[in-house]
Structure 1
Amino acid sequence: MISNEQQTEQGWEAPTPLGTNGPLPTFPTHCLPDWVGAFVEAVAEETQTPVDAPACVALSALATAAGGRALVQVRGTYTEPVNLFTVVAMPPASRKSAVFRALTSPILKVEQELAERVKPQIVEAEMARSVAQGVAEKAKSKAVGSKGAPDALADASDAVSAVEDIQIPVLPQLVADDVTPERAASILCDQGGRLSVMSAEGGIFQILAGRYSGVPNLDLFLKGHAGDMLRVDRRDRTEHVDSAILTLGLAVQPDVISEIATGPGFRGKGLLGRFLYSLPESTVGSRKVDPDPVPEDVAQRYEERLMRMALHLFDWTDPQRLQLSPEGDQARLDYARELEPRLHPRHGDLGHMSDWAGKSVGAIVRIAALLHLADNPVDGYRLPISAETMSAAIEIGRYFTAHAEAAFDHMGTDPETERARLLLDWIQRKQPARFSVREAFSGLPRGTFRKVPDVLPALETLESYGWIALEPPPPKSPKGGRPPSPSYQVHPQIAEAGA
């Protein structure tokens, strides 16, 4: 874990910053379909943003095109929908909006095309309802004039029912931005159970925490990720869909990643475990001032393919059922077996974030399905998801795992790392050349550690990162007695920083 690059005169290696495992991986764009990967790389070049940003937005765009219209039949009764929650953290002035516009523009064009298709149906339905209402009014008047004659009452009842039977289509809406959970639920129900919230800001987290209502409202986002049934009782109507499919594609400032851990119920109810996190290194300060624009043929191909995928899948009422090939399923099982020991609460390196890691196998199935549909938008349900596609999804999944570890560290959700950080803060304040375990225990606020041995895991963490080094135990005293408390030497860099 310690860097081998720089060494001090005393023989110390340069310490690794606490809570990081070195540079995070870059999004593997070669795992995306050619037409997606080429556009992602071109947008990254034109906007001078890390390739991770357009890649994550591209996955959300694919999920928007397919969400609610396909699911993966994994095995038995186990299915996965194909929607995703992605969030990429980028500092201010990182051109997040430009990335979003480029990647989501075809989706908005699909919305417009679908709206033009539906508008004549809306006009026809409104006219039919207006005529039916006129007939119903006459029938009611006739029933009143007949003083309740059975035939007249039956005719009036039939006329009123005819009005209620005429449903006016709603304008298709695939994407929302600044929207409350209540409004999002209504839109999702109106749209037959599908919606995508795409935003270049992180305000949605404040809205979920109750910015407007004062009460946290996470139900739609929890159910919408899993594809569960949604029923919302309003004052004037009841909204219901058998399967709510919600996609989230967000870009936020890095500080938001730290703040969302404190959102009421965000961790406890499982919201944080549903996001695929990306924390790319900022390019601000090292960007080209005259980058190459996106080639026209690359942009046109992306637009045509994404619109084709969205338009074709929109017309499906029952979702397509995608199948895994035997080889693809075996790759999934191999990944799951490799992952399982890492979830152990005491021995696994992902145990502190098992709420996230436990969903990662499902996430790679969803990603594999999106890659499959991107290559086969028309007949994807006829072709099984191959081992090659599943392997590409697993590689993307490993990328997200590394970034999730960093995100959860920023959130302070690893208790051992947090305690090690508190201990390092004490060392940096006091700047001792050496200290004993008992001195460390006594120097920290009461309650940080219950007893002296509880300090040892935090000390081991600091030692593994190169901040301290355990001294050899002194020789036993011939007089016997209790051995002295173990002592540690402190990295000279700490003293140099305070000088």
Structure 2
Amino acid sequence: MTRAPAHDLNAEQAVIGAALLAPNVVAELAGTLAPADFYRPVHGRLWEALCAMQATGQPVDPIALAARLADSGDLGKVGGAPYLHTLIQSVPTAANASHYARIVADHARRRQVADLGVYIAERAGTDTDVAEIVATGRAILDQAAAGSQWSPLIPLGNRRHLPDFPGYVLPEWVANMVYGVAEFTQTPVDLAGCIALAALSTAAGGRAEVEVRGSWREPTNLFTVVVLPPGSRKSAVFAAMIGPLLTAERALVERTKPAIVEAELAARVAGKAAEKAANAAANADQSGRDTLLAEATAAAMNADAVTIPVLPQLVADDVTSEEAASLLAEQGGRLAVLSPEGGIFATIAGRYSGTPNLEVFLKGHAGDMLRVNRRSRSPEHVEHPALTLGLAVQPDVLRDIADMPGFRGKGLLARILFSLPENTVGRRKIGADPVSEQVASAYTANLGALVMTLAEWTDPAVLPLTPEANERVLDIERAVEPRLAPGGAWGHLVDWGSKYTGAVVRLAGLIHLAEHLRDGWGKPIQAETVERAGLLGDYFAAHALAAFDDMGTDKSTRYARLVLAWIERTAATTFTKRELYRGVRSQIPTAADLDPVLSLLEIHGYLRQLNAPARTGAGRPASPSFLVHPEVHGSAGTVHGLPGWASRRPA
């Protein structure tokens, strides 16, 4: 082409300027004027930003647009804020915006036709079938005549690709087991990694705490929740990662049994002595009764002072809040609730009692004093309870807990480290190698050693930070604080974000203890350990944002994300509703459930329904067909393999 493609820069400037003068212009023209219709790319980027702001309910004005472009790094590329004011000054009134928009759209159609000519000329010299060239050319002409251009995508939410679990930051004996189990079970590393953290928390919780600075101390127990659909082999991973804890629990029981027998015998002897002294005092005459009564009182107190140890229990499964409180009191303040299911949440919410009871779990995470009242015995209290929670739940459970009374308001969700790994079902390798005997034995022996080493501690071991490690914690606090401000990245998750630094400190404490199995309490935590814990913190922060996003979205949006995942996985550029349902029916119950989902995706620009072919003869009608926006596959500006319409526009 020797002539410049059809365009009118003055009309383009007038459209953008009118939109900045009158925000309603964007709403009126967004459906008919696409960013690709603008000849100058700067104007296309400006129109795309304005349409996105209008679609998400943000104010459309020069200040808001400049702020958005500055955040994305595009403000300088479009000429800066002065150019925005130049655009406003170029239009005397916004009333003529639709006239200028028609000029811009008409030139865009003419460029499409010109591009078609180049495309046909190029393909004519290849071995491409002539019928295919003609059919494609006819489709392009139809689109150009109809003014059919893709509008910018309107995001469904903030959900994006989430980071993988950084298992490499864990001590070698833990990391080897995590990767080995993930490979053998063909499950995400995230699942085994989070359960491994829960296992370390079970071993160390209530027996050690990290001294940050001043009176700030963090216990070393965690709440972790992994979200995976049914059939993800959660139980197999739990069995592998938690099995050594049950072995250690049995060893503690065997070690405690002789002490229980001895205490029971001492209690019987003291009871007999108290009974004998009481009988002697009852039968004595008045002169000697006072002395014998004092002796009987002392004997009764001695008998009552004999404490019979309980059998150690490290792990519980589906317990009520009341049972958890009793077990914490019996077990010296340490207990873990570990399960490949999420039934505990319904129990906490009052499935049996009808009344939510979160106190045990809130105090059990924070380490606040817990008082246990029983009908048959006097009240007991746990000075520093340490409850560990390690669960793997289905996605529906995650969404249900957001609606459970008090879970968000009282802070239970703020204490949870969420993990939303990508499901591997359908892509698993058959016949994967099992975990090596050496790796499994090392994991079992070391986790057992950590349990046994800390089992006898009554007062928690205090783990100080080195000055350098304290500086790393301060760096984390400085980075987190602006995110919690209104409008900050975590402004809607202040409850969770406020506990973020403490969670990283807890993770650092567990990494430290796992690397120094038998003398960790005698060594300060190093800066490098805090940095490794910070990588875990980054992982959990990204997943928490996605988890809270999922908990707040409606069913249609959740299903829409499943449909987009299917489109990306199959690389579909067109599909029928029937084909789609066959691909997603394991996650979306009925074909009718797809109707609002497809409508939502059309509204957001991801899909466009194609005209149904004329029906001929009997039988059911053809399934609706849909065209996929090219940007869904990361190929913006390309449709059906054709060059982008703006391929010869200026840079």
The TM-score range, normalised by the shorter chain, is 0.7 to 0.9
Query: Which residue of structure 2 aligns with residue 25 of structure 1?
Result: 163
SS at match of 2:337: strand
| Structure 1 partner of 2:462 | 321
**1:87 and 2:228 correspond:** no
Q: Distance in 1 between matches of 2:608 and 2:325?
A: 53
Q: Assess, with a 3 A threshold, how the Cα gap between structure 1 residues 498 and 258 changes in structure 2: closer, same or farther.
A: farther
User: 1:209 aligned to 341, 345, 349, which one?
Assistant: 349
- 1:200-228: CA deviations, max 9, x gaps? 11000000000111110000000010000
1: CA distance, partners of 2:543 / 2:366: 22
Query: What does residue 173 of structure 2 align with?
Result: 35
For 1:57 and 1:492, the matched residues in 2 are separated by: 37
Give the 5 Å matches for 1:132-143. 132-143=270-281
- Give the deviation of 1:147 after TM superposition: 4.7
State the AA in 1 paired with 2:505: V
Match of 1:263 among 392, 404, 414: 404
CA–CA distance in structure 1, aligned partners of residues 151 and 454 of structure 2: 56
Match of 1:486 in 2: none
- 2:129 corresponds in structure 1 to none
Counterpart of 1:282 (choices 423, 431, 436) is: 423
1:57-456 equivalences in 2 (<5 Å): 57-147=195-285, 149-236=289-376, 237-345=378-486, 347-412=487-552
What is the CA–CA distance in structure 2 between the aligned matches of 1:185 and 1:249, rounded to whole Å?
17
Cα displacement (A) at 1:321: 0.8
Q: CA deviation at 1:317?
A: 1.8
Deviation at residue 289 of structure 1 after TM alignment: 2.1
Structure 1 residues 395 and 271: alpha-carbon distance in aligned structure 2, compared to 1, 3 A threshold: same
Would the aligned equivalents of 2:208 and 2:461 in 1 still touch at CA under 8 Å? yes
* Contact 2:153 2:604 survives alignment (8 Å): no
Show the counterpart of 2:607: 493
- The structural deviation recorded for 1:11 is 6.2
Distance 2:604 2:537 in 1: 38
Residue-by-residue CA offset, 1:384-426 (whole Å, 9 max, x unaligned): 21121111111110100111011001110xxxx77x969x99x
Q: Give me the whole-angstrom Cα distance separating, in 2, the residues matched to 1:20 and 1:134.
A: 71
Instruction: Give per-residue Cα distances to partners, 1:166-195, cap 9 Å, x unaligned.
Output: 110111111111111101101101111111
Q: d(CA) in 1 for partners of 2:155 and 2:277?
A: 80
- C-alpha displacement at 1:381, in angstroms? 2.4
Equivalent residue number for residue 135 of structure 2? none
**CA distance in structure 2 between the partners assigned to 1:382 and 1:52 by the alignment:** 31
Structure (1 or 2) with the greater helix fraction: 2
Q: Report the Cα distance in structure 2 between the residues aligned to 1:176 and 1:157, rounded to whole angstroms.
A: 40
Higher relative contact order (CA 8 A, sep 6+): 1
Q: How far apart are the structure 1 equivalents of 2:499 and 2:155?
A: 28
- C-alpha separation in 2, matches of 1:311 and 1:185: 23
Which secondary structure does the structure 1 equivalent of 2:160 belong to?
Answer: coil
Render the CA deviation track for 1:50-98: whole Å, top value 9, x for unaligned: 1100000000000111001110110001110000000001111111111
State the Cα distance separating 1:20 from its structure 2 match. Answer: 3.8
Of the structure 1 ranges 383-392 and 290-299, higher mean CA displacement relative to structure 2 is found in 383-392
Secondary structure, counterpart of 1:150 in structure 2: helix
Unaligned runs of 5+ in 1: 3-7, 426-465, 469-488
Quote the Cα distance in structure 1 between the aligned partners of 2:488 and 2:373. 43
Counterpart CA distance in 1 for 2:541 and 2:344 is 23
After superposition, the CA RMSD in angstroms is 2.5
Per-residue deviation at 1:15?
3.9
SS at match of 2:326: helix
Q: CA deviation at 1:135?
A: 1.5
Which structure 2 residue ranges, 5 or more long, are not aligned? 1-48, 53-139, 562-599, 611-623, 627-651
Q: Which of these two proteins has the greater Rg computed from alpha carbons? A: 2
| 1:13 Cα deviation after fit | 8.0
Give 1:56's aligned residue. 194
Q: Secondary structure at the match of 1:262?
A: coil
Contact 1:89 1:253 survives alignment (8 Å): yes
Query: Closer, same or farther in 2 for the Cα pair 1:490/1:290, shift >3 Å?
Result: closer
Is 2:46 the counterpart of 1:46? no
Letter in 2 for 1:142: A
Amino acid across the alignment from 1:19: G
Shift of 1:39: 0.5
The verdict on how the C-alpha distance between 1:490 and 1:320 changes in structure 2, with shifts beyond 3 A counting, is: closer
CA distance in 2: counterparts of 1:147 and 1:490, whole angstroms? 97
Alpha-carbon offset, residue 467 of structure 1: 7.7
Name the residue aligned to 2:6: none
Paired with 1:291 and 1:20, the residues of 2 have a C-alpha distance of: 35
